[in-house]
Amino acid sequence: MRILQIVPSLSLVYGGPSQMVLGLSKGLARQGAEVTILTTDANGDRGQAPLDVPLDQAIEQSGYQIRYFRCSPFRRYKFSLGLLRWLHQNIHQYDLAHIHALFSPVSSAAATIARWHHFPYILRPLGTLDPADLQKKKQLKRLYAACLEKPNLAQAAAVHFTSDQEAKVSERFGAVTRDLVMPLGVELPASTPCVDRSQWGIPEGVPVLLFMSRIDPKKGLDLLLPALEQLAVEAVPFQFVLAGANPQDPEYEQQIRSRIQRSSLADRTTITGFVAGEPKTQLLQLADLFVLPSYYENFGIAVAEAMTMGVPVLISDQVHIWPQIAQAEAGWICRCDQTDLTQQLRSALQDPQARLQKGQQAQAYATQHFSWEAIAQSMLAVYQQIQTQSFAGQMHK
């Protein structure tokens, strides 16, 4: 099969959900699919320089191709007339398009072009249909949905959700959709032997509590920091590692840093900024517990990465893979409530045997369910089924 993956940007600035397109494409290529990613050179909305990449040409990478297009006009909104023009001219050279992100002009326009061509496509919302996310710019999104996203959803061959919970809570604006629930995968570098705690400023003999995600208001740091301050008062031993950044909202990132530096957590916290590659792997190896008390999270790639490394997790019940975590006994689940979070943290930090057992169970679950090879096999089977149905529908007409 010849597959298009369409995503507004692959820049790390926009977090993990966009990056998963690379892992999926690599997995599909290993299964024999011909994959082309269409994307833009967008690299942030705060005046950052665009990605330094060749434009409008096929770049070979890990068995698949990437085509980057200039953001123009409306750079802030990751829009690209060049990408859409290329899609319109070349769409029928492919069998199916997998379009990532709703409420993003280039993705919405790509789905519209596919509709006009009666071409099969799958939409992946990236959490944008969550009621909590829809509250942002609510009236504008309702108008946008009525004009573009409702018809795009209605005509999609499938809507790709990454958990049952995401599918359950997501808004469809009255459209009837075929839902496809399939998790994201993770692929980490090989373990690094003999990681030195001292190079990260982490003392020996205390549990390492790791937050590794974008520093954003939805991630629940306003719950986590007071909870940790309470545990510090109680003299519960731990070292907190805050790994992440937010180039999109540097003011909020600085607020979090300043709060920690002014609090009782100052000498119990290691702030690393954004990490990737070997440093990221090292921190996951050092972690005794991974924490993400988000107010809403359609999947949580960082959670899956921690589990793959054998780290137990403590997440809120608004991280939509929490039922799987609970069923696998791979960690602790809390409400988005400071008192409950404090209690769950206290239990986890004071019970090393439970952490070890839940970490082993987390790794076993992640190995079975978050492998890109298994996910790519399942996704390719879905693509083939959609292609067959689309061909049969065209013959019937």
Per residue in 41-55, pLDDT tens? Answer: 998 776 778 999 999
Same domain, residue pair 346 and 279 = yes
**Does some domain include residue 190?**
no
pLDDT of 392: 63
pLDDT band per the 50, 70, 90 thresholds, residue 19: confident
Average pLDDT (52-77) is 90
Same domain, residue pair 176 and 33 = yes
358 or 127, which is more confident? 358
Same domain, residue pair 270 and 155 = no
**Does some domain include residue 174?**
yes
Same domain, residue pair 172 and 267 = no
Nearest CA to 204 among 236, 232, 239? Answer: 239
CB atoms within 10 A of CB 300: 28
Can you give the pTM of this predicted structure?
Answer: 0.90
The answer to whether residue 256 scores a pLDDT higher than 90 is: yes
pLDDT of 132: 87
Same domain, residue pair 326 and 250 = yes
Same domain, residue pair 147 and 270 = no
Same domain, residue pair 14 and 89 = yes
The rounded percent of the chain whose pLDDT value lies above 70 is 96
pLDDT of 393: 61
CB atoms within 10 A of CB 388: 10
43 or 83, which is more confident? 83
Comparing 43-57, 252-266, 329-343, 351-365, the range with the smallest average pLDDT is: 43-57
**Does some domain include residue 38?**
yes
Strand partners, 105: none
Comparing 292-301, 305-314, 383-392, the range with the smallest average pLDDT is: 383-392
Nearest CA to 362 among 284, 279, 294? Answer: 284
**Does some domain include residue 57?**
yes
Q: Summarize pLDDT for 149-168 with one digit per residue, the tens.
A: 999 999 999 999 999 999 99
pLDDT of 150: 95
Instruction: List Cα–Cα distances, 100 to 17, 33, 77, 183, 360, in angstroms.
Output: 9, 18, 15, 14, 33
pLDDT of 394: 60
Strand partners, 64: 61
- Work out the end-to-end distance of the chain between its first and last CA atoms, rounded to an integer number of angstroms: 23
pLDDT of 248: 85
The answer to whether residue 247 scores a pLDDT higher than 80 is: yes
pLDDT of 391: 61
Domain that holds residue 220: 197-369
Per the document, the length of the chain is 397
Q: Summarize pLDDT for 302-312 with one digit per residue, the tens.
A: 999 999 999 99
Same domain, residue pair 386 and 298 = no
**Does some domain include residue 147?**
yes
Same domain, residue pair 341 and 308 = yes
**Does some domain include residue 86?**
yes
Half-sphere exposure of 133 (CA within 13 A, CB side): 19
Same domain, residue pair 365 and 375 = no
Q: Summarize pLDDT for 104-119 with one digit per residue, the tens.
A: 999 999 999 999 999 9
**Does some domain include residue 99?**
yes
**Does some domain include residue 80?**
yes
Mean pLDDT score across all residues of the chain: 92
CB burial readout 51-82, b (16+ within 10 A) else e: bebeeeeeeeeebbbbbbbbbeeebeebbbeb
Q: Report the number of distinct structural domains present in the chain.
A: 2
Report the SS3 class of residue 184: coil
Report the SS3 class of residue 220: coil
- CATH code, domain with 390: 3.40.50.2000
Same domain, residue pair 218 and 317 = yes
Q: Which two tokens stand for residue 280?
A: 């990221």
Q: Summarize pLDDT for 185-229 with one digit per residue, the tens.
A: 987 666 667 788 888 989 999 999 999 999 999 999 999 999 999
Same domain, residue pair 386 and 297 = no
Q: Which two tokens stand for residue 357?
A: 């057992």
> What is the side-by-side order of every strand in the sheet holding 331-334?
269-273, 239-243, 208-212, 289-292, 313-316, 331-334
Instruction: Please provide residue 7's backbone torsions phi and psi, each rounded to the nearest 5 degrees.
Output: -145, 140
pLDDT of 339: 98
Report the SS3 class of residue 159: strand
